[in-house]
């Protein structure tokens, strides 16, 4: 080993504390890069392979009821490669011991032969026998949530008739990666199931013999999906077609795509922040080493070492630290990615999902770390090259502080000597103090921003289920009924209040933008489910006009006063031109509100309701839900308490769990900055501090001189970091928000206070570590060193 290499390892051991802190910061950035990029690659590739192997349809066309003979016309449409018709319908599963009817979807399988499109993936068991109408497949996630196995029987209500079916197999499908009950936006395997039965058995239950109510299509390569959809709609319109749509509008695919896009955005935006901070810290550390080793550099050059060899020595120091951080980050990224896989298999029904690190992420993470660290070392190398041996072996010329503040006037007389030393140190090195303060403020901003997001998730939950939706349960009907059904619900013992609503499937368009969703019709003065503004005040619904949720307004790029085109997909399928009157602050979903009477009028269906919100006596809730379970017209019941629990689980374990990771790394980077600031201050002023001890300063006074400057820098950084954190909260909230839920951004005093307390604790701990080393300092050795 060469003498320079031995010196390199001695230097690393001497600055091991700072090196470890920088390694952890770099490792955190690379870990996030590898983990998030790997999850994006794994989810994308698994979804693609799953879709291809199981022939997921590319176009879906729901219809009220069309004869099988229409399939031939659909197959003749240019661009259609394959087409199949099937029967689908809602079903209620009676779970023993659970008073709430569990919603599910029943899907028809061909009576003979293999499925053509959207093939089920058989996890275990077998397909239903062709002649046995009481056999079915059950979604494996639902079966696991309730402990069902092959051979068990379940009671199912379809089209108002109850029957018992036997489970002969557990299955999954690319069509149901994301499963949520109608009226709910959160996946919960225990609250929504899928049944697959032979078509003849299901058709008999749904009155679909010789007919279908959904057509599935695959299209030829190069064919226009939009043209195929238009042609399909024209063919199915006489039979009650409700509007064909592509795979990208499939609810399951849309939410999985949104999750992948969110991870991809975070993988591009977050890791560079940590790598930049690490590069800044490395630059400061190496600069300090070069400054303190000025004499050694001169000696090395005098003994014949070239500028390249001396410069390479310090570059190696930088590369070793950066390389160690990148290597550790790659390892942690793989481990973290594998740990996240169970989260996604819990909420998305993939039959297989293996974390496959993206090789590009390793290359980018390692390259970015080394490149960022090397960029800072370039400035250090310039100083090394500029030093000649004769100049380097002389002490550097003392800095000229004649024009700085001396604190010798009236103000200075009220300050003791240690305080004046601290203040003089700040005014004599303002740029260094500002740089360290900016670094601490950045950590404070990230910590306060992420801590505020914790509270934002909770506020979103409280607002959604206590302010916007104040009902206890929501009842859905199979089809729109007369408003007399609301009076029937009100007569159930224990029902305190009933608030009917009308839900109409529609496509909302503005310019070239469109959104496939629904229009919610509410009574003129709703009490249980309301549209609210940013101040949580109820928005009165106009007689003519539409109130849009802010998320939907952003999707369509509309503002109050714009005219929106609504293509209704039910009944007579009218096309409406409706003005947008207000925007509502909605935190779950992307709703559009109208007065129910106005919506029914344009539908030419006065007095119709799709369901009702209920407020119930908690003591009689189970009795009420059992009563609803036995009503033939009831398609499902959503209990607010269950929906809230599902969303909370998603926030804690699903996509929202990333907030905990981000919060942890925010605190890591903050501690790394504060610790390095304290350690650098100690190294820079070691000789001065030793001199103070020799002339009579106590250990406490000497520590005050060292740590007082850090304390002022930290205290100045807190309000700056708080302001930056407030601004960052909006960016983070926007990044976490999706069509599923929107995270509110606001100023949370507790979050900022908690983050400030952490910064102070980090500064105190760093100070205690440095003070311990300061008390162990060998005064003679330090004083023998030359500046």
| DSSP notation for 694-737 | HTT--HHHHHHHHHHHHHHHHHHHHHHHHHHHHHHHHHHHHHH-
pLDDT at 138: 94
CA distance 473 to 639: 4
Q: What's the CA gap between 605 and 504, in Å, rounded? A: 12
Tally of CA atoms within 13 A in the half-sphere of 418 that contains its CB: 18
Q: What angle do CA 471, 463, 562 make, to 5 degrees?
A: 95
Phi, psi for residue 178 in degrees, rounded to 5: -110, 120
Q: Count the alpha carbons within 13 Å of 389 in the hemisphere toward its beta carbon.
A: 10
Q: Are strands 88-94 and 153-158 parallel, antiparallel or unpaired?
A: antiparallel
Tokens of 370: 């080394």
**Which residue is it, tokens 């100690």?**
682
Question: How many Å apart are CA 243 and CA 717, to the nearest integer?
Answer: 57
Helix axes of 294-302 and 271-292: crossing angle, nearest 10 degrees: 70
CB neighbour class for 285 (10 Å; exposed up to 12, middle 13-18, buried from 19): buried
* Confidence (pLDDT) at 77: 94
Report strand pairing: 513-522 vs 592-595.
parallel
pLDDT at position 787, please?
Answer: 46
For the record, the structure tokens of 209 come out as 């013999």
Task: Write out the H or E segment, with its range, that includes residue 306.
Answer: none
SS3 of 94, please? strand
How far is the CA of 625 from the CAs of 181, 466, 475, 487, 494, in angstroms? Answer: 17, 21, 10, 17, 10
- Rounded to an integer, what distance in angstroms lies between the CA atom of residue 623 and that of residue 635? 18
Provide φ and ψ at 404, rounded to 5°: -95, 170
Mean pLDDT by 10 residues, the chain (787 residues): 82 80 81 86 90 93 92 93 92 84 88 86 90 87 89 87 90 87 70 89 88 93 91 91 88 83 75 72 72 74 79 82 88 87 78 83 84 74 69 63 63 69 74 77 79 75 80 88 90 92 90 86 87 84 87 88 88 85 82 89 87 91 86 83 74 57 64 73 70 75 78 87 86 70 77 82 78 68 54
Delimit the domains of the chain by residue range: 56-253, 429-468+643-787, 495-616
pTM: 0.75
DSSP state of 613: E
The strand order across the sheet containing 211-219 reads: 80-86, 211-219, 59-67, 245-246
Which backbone phi and psi does 785 adopt, to 5 degrees?
Answer: -70, 150
Reading the block at residue 65, the tokens are 């009821």
């Amino acid at each position: 080993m060469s003498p320079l290499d031995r010196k390199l390892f001695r230097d690393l051991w001497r600055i091991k504390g700072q090196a470890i802190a920088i390694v952890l910061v770099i490792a955190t950035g690379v870990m996030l890069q590898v983990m998030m990029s790997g999850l994006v690659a794994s989810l994308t590739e698994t979804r693609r392979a799953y879709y291809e192997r199981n022939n997921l349809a590319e176009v879906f066309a729901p219809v009220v009821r069309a004869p099988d003979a229409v399939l031939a016309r659909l197959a003749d449409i240019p661009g259609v490669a394959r087409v199949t018709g099937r029967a689908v319908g809602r079903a209620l599963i009676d779970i023993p011991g659970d008073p709430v009817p569990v919603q599910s979807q029943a899907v028809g399988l061909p009576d003979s032969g293999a499925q053509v499109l959207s093939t089920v993936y058989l996890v275990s068991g077998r397909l239903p026998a062709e002649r046995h109408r009481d056999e079915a497949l059950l979604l494996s996630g639902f079966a696991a949530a309730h402990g069902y196995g092959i051979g068990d029987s379940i009671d199912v209500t379809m089209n108002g008739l109850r029957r018992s079916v036997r489970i002969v197999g557990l299955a999954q499908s690319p069509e149901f990666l994301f499963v949520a009950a109608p009226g709910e936006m959160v996946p919960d395997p225990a609250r929504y199931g899928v049944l697959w039965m032979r078509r003849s058995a299901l058709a008999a239950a749904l009155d679909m013999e010789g007919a279908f109510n959904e057509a599935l299509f695959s299209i030829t390569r190069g064919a226009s999906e939009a043209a195929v959809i238009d042609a399909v709609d024209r063919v199915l319109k006489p039979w009650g077609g409700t509007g064909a749509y592509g795979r990208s509008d499939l609810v399951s695919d849309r939410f999985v795509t949104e999750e992948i896009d969110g991870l991809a955005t975070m993988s591009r935006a977050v890791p560079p922040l940590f790598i930049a901070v690490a590069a800044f810290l490395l630059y400061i550390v190496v600069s300090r080493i070069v400054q303190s080793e000025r004499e050694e550099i001169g000696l090395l050059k005098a003994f014949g070492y070239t500028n390249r060899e001396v410069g390479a020595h310090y570059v190696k120091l930088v590369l070793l630290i950066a390389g160690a951080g990148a290597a550790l980050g790659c390892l942690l990224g793989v481990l973290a990615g594998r740990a996240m896989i169970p989260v996604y298999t819990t909420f998305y029904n993939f039959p297989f999902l293996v974390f496959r690190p993206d090789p590009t992420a390793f290359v980018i993470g390692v390259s970015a770390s080394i490149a960022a660290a090397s960029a800072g070392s370039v400035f250090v190398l310039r100083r090394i090259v500029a030093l000649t041996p004769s100049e380097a072996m002389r002490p550097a010329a003392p800095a000229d502080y004649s024009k700085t503040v001396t604190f010798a006037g009236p103000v200075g007389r009220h300050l003791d000597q240690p305080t004046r030393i601290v203040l003089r140190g700040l005014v004599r090195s303002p740029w260094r103090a500002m740089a360290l303060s900016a670094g601490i403020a950045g950590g404070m901003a990230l910590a306060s921003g992420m801590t505020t997001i914790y509270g934002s998730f909770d506020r979103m939950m409280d607002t959604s289920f206590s302010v916007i939706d104040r009902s206890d349960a929501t009842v859905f009907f199979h089809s729109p009924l007369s408003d007399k059904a609301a009076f029937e619900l009100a007569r159930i013992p224990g029902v305190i209040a009933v608030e009917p609503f009308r839900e109409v499937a529609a496509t909302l368009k503005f310019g070239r933008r469109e959104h496939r969703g629904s229009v919610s019709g509410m009574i003129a003065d709703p009490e249980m489910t309301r549209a609210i503004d940013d101040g949580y005040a109820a928005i009165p619904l106009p007689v003519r006009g539409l109130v849009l949720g802010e998320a939907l307004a952003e999707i369509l790029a509309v503002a109050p006063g714009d005219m929106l085109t609504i293509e209704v997909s039910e009944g007579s399928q009218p096309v409406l031109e409706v003005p947008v009157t207000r925007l509502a602050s909605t935190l779950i979903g992307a709703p559009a509100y109208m007065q129910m009477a106005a919506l029914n009028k344009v539908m030419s269906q006065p007095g119709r309701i799709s369901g009702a919100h209920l407020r119930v006596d908690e003591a009689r809730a189970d009795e009420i839900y059992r009563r609803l379970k036995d009503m033939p017209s009831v398609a499902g019941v959503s209990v607010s308490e269950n929906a809230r629990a599902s969303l909370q689980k998603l926030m804690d374990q699903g996509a929202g769990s990333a907030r905990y990771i981000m919060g942890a790394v925010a605190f890591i980077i903050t501690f790394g900055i504060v610790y390095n600031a304290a350690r650098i201050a100690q190294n820079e002023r070691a000789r001065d501090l030793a001199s103070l001890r020799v002339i009579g300063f106590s250990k406490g006074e000497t520590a005050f001189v060292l740590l007082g400057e850090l304390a002022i820098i930290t205290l100045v950084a807190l309000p700056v970091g708080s302001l930056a954190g407030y601004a960052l909260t909006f960016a983070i909230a926007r990044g976490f928000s999706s069509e599923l839920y929107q995270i509110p951004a606001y100023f949370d005093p507790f979050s900022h206070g908690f983050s400030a307390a952490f910064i102070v604790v980090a500064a105190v701990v760093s100070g205690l570590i440095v003070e311990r080393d300061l008390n162990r300092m060998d005064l003679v050795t330090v004083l023998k060193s030359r500046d």
